Each structure stands twice: as C-alpha cells, then as structure tokens.
Amino acid sequence: MSKPLLLLTRHFPQAVEARAARDYATIPNAADTPMTGAEIASAAQQAEPVGILCAAGDAFNAETIKALPESVKIIATFSVGTDHIDLQAAKARGILVANTPDVLSVATAEIAMLLILSAARRGGEAERMVRAREWTGWAPTQLMGVTLEKKKLGILGMGRIGQELAKMARGFGMEIHYRNRNRLPEGEELGAIYHADDAGFLGAIDVLSMHIPGGAATRHWLNAERIAQLRPGSIVVNTGRGSTVDDAALCQALESGHLRAAGLDVFDGEPKIFEGYYTAPNVVLLPHLGSATVETRDAMGFRALDNLDAVLLRGEAPPHAV
C-alpha cells in the first residue's frame, strides 16, 4: 500500500521531517524559502497531495485555497496562529485546518521576558556599543536603565503564554496586571489584578507585554490613543502579532520620550520591518524567535503530524482542529 502524499511548504526540523518521511511520501521544500501562494497552489496541483504541512506566514489566502486540487483534505500549520489561512475559504472547500497549541507557551514567554529585560536594562544599546568598539570603560551614568523589581507588568491577553510570563515575572518581584476578554477564575489569577477596560489597565502599568492574536479586530490595537494612556517612561513588548501595533505611533512615542523603550519579536508584514525601527536606539529587535528552541519546534512539528496522522492514516478528526 502506497503512503499518503504530503506537501511540505518549508524545511522543518530534522526529527519532524524524518517522522514525516516514515509515514508519508513527502514533497519537501529543501530551499527553506517561503513559497508564494501561487507556488504552493502550483506544487499542489502538480503532485495532488492529500495533506499540506505549512508554517506561519505561508500565503493560504482565499485565492490559494481555491486553487488547491480536490485531493487536499487537510492543512496542518506549524503554528498556533492561523491568521495566514483563510479559514472560511478552507471550510467552503471542505478542507480541514489544524494547528499546534499548548507546546510553545514557555518558549515564547521566555522571549517576552528577554525583551522586557533587554529593554529595561538597555541591553540592545549596550551590545551594539561593544560591537562597534565604542565602549571606553565603566562610567557612573552610562546606559542607566530601570530595575524590574516592584514594577507593574501589564499582560495583554492572559492565555497560556501570558500566564507563563506572569510566573517568570513574579520571580523578578513584579506586580502582575492583566487585560483579557474574560477574567480568569480566582484560583488561576495567583494575585494578578484584572482590568475590565483599556484605560484603567494601561494607566496602571509600567511594562506592557502583548499576547493577542492578529486579524482585523485587533489590527493596530496599540495606537496613538492607547499609547498616550500608558505612563510616561513605560516599556512596550510584543511577542504576539506584529499587526496589533501601529508602528508609526510607537516610533513617535519612542522618539518623543513618552515611552522609555520597546522590544519586538514580531512585525507587521514581516520580514519587512517599519523603517523607523532601524534608527530608534531604544528598541530591541528580534527575528520572530518566540518558539525557536529545539524542544519546542520538534513538539510543534510532532503535533502537526499528529493532526495529519489522525485524518490521513486513521480517518479520524484531527486532535487540534481549528
């Protein structure tokens, strides 16, 4: 019996590709460069796979999905987010979509904590100074940042990642505040302070860490109006989705001094980055490293394959259907 045919849109971790090759006839993308929607559709039309293993950023818009062959039963994305997939178009075609929740929370929270620390202690500026051979020695007033102890951390989106970040921040002596669609049960808050409105939340905190999904409803959530509601000298960190930040407004607030610093791991339209970030000294920029650990990326791939196996090998519903 021949193995089911699986299209891989990207190069995935070695252990993931090995498991995929064990159970499927795979069509790899060894170049590891993002395929356009037209290229994905063309590859699928030529091979007629029953499943597609894709990644965040792949252009599965309505046009791409419409062009997929009838053979495709499931799109398994190597991500928690699904804003790169037109879910309604997939539903209309009868194509299942599945994602990889629950395995990248700690890794992403670690990156958020790294950005908070780097922004507060001016780590990016300091590292650039040393690399540029501009450091002339210790000085009493050189690159003074702020300590995190007793600062108020505001977590926007208190889901799995937000709760993991809260655990870490408590170890630094931070007070936890959060804004969420729904208040957590009291037993899960662990002393975190819930805010039912944006203004009260933003006005109460020293550091804002963003963990909300992308999409039209949250586009440019952090705009000039909400930035103005933050305390002068606040820090902004985003490891959620780049589209949730108004880049021009954030850069203006950094330049004016209203915000002390920012740390960003995600960008609107990435890998393209808003030009203002390149020249802003008080911004720490990372290339979407949230889940980039060996352990996490393997777990994501295995979860994606679990979804594919259920549908294509056993004829069952995927365990993590969207």
CA distance 210 to 171: 19
What span, in angstroms and rounded, lies between the C-alpha atoms of 186 and 192? 9
Tokens linked to 158:
């208190």
Distance CA 320, CA 322 (A): 6
Nearest-angstrom CA–CA distance, 261 and 99: 33
Alpha-carbon 70 to chain mean position: 31
Nearest to 303 by CA among 287, 290, 320: 320
HSE, CB side, 13 Å, CA atoms: give it for residue 51: 26
Per the annotation, the verdict on 122 as an active-site residue is no
Q: Which two tokens stand for residue 18?
A: 């090995």
Distance between CA 157 and CA 136 in Å, rounded? Answer: 42
- Residue 18 CA to residue 15 CA, distance in Å, equals 5
Q: Is 241 one of the catalytic residues?
A: yes
Q: Pick the catalytic residue from 84, 219, 231, 288.
A: 288
- The Cα 60–Cα 96 span in angstroms is 13
Which of these is catalytic: 241, 260, 297, 303? Answer: 241
Angstrom distance (rounded) from CA 69 to CA 248: 41
Catalytic one of 125, 175, 255, 270: 270
By annotation, the residues acting in catalysis are 241, 270, 288
